[in-house]
């Protein structure tokens, strides 16, 4: 009987030792996303991992850069995000990609993870993972 108890205790110890830490749930934000902006331009978004993921956004025709200036001027935005439950928030630096790039300053940017696996920004634009 003692041999059986020792064998069970040893097997249990081995299982606990090899199981390792529990895996954390994957982030609903990490990845590459695409969307059509409310002005009809194309958006491409990448979000990195970690507690303060880097957010990179490319807009192929940013209204903020193209007011009264045809053709549409692309822009990029970059910032570190903060995740709170189903939301990621950031202050992103926006640069208009003119022949001489122009930094037009920081803007608030926020995305909410949706149950269907998409992300929605503060203007209602829906991003789909690619």
Shortest CA distance to 45 belongs to which of 111, 108, 116? 111
Instruction: Determine the Cα–Cα distance for residues 114 and 111; give it in Å rounded to an integer.
Output: 9
* Beta-ladder partners of 121: 111
Strands (E), the chain: 31-36, 42-47, 54-59, 75-80, 82-84, 87-96, 102-113, 119-121, 126-129
Per-residue pLDDT of the chain (130 residues; tens, 9 = 90+): 444 333 334 333 433 344 444 556 678 999 999 999 999 999 999 999 998 999 999 999 998 887 766 668 999 999 999 999 999 999 999 999 988 899 998 999 999 999 999 999 999 999 999 9
């Amino acid at each position: 009987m003692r041999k059986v108890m020792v064998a069970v205790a040893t097997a249990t110890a081995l299982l606990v030792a090899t199981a390792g830490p529990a895996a954390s749930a994957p982030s609903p934000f990490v990845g590459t996303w695409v969307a059509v902006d409310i002005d009809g331009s194309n958006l491409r978004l990448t979000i990195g991992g970690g507690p303060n993921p880097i957010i990179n956004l490319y807009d192929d025709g940013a209204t903020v850069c193209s007011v009264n200036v045809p053709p549409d001027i692309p822009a990029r935005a970059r910032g570190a995000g903060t995740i709170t439950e189903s939301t990621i928030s950031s202050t992103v630096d926006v640069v208009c990609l003119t022949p001489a790039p122009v930094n037009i300053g920081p803007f608030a940017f926020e995305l909410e993870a949706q149950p269907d696996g998409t992300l929605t920004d503060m203007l209602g634009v829906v991003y789909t993972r690619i």
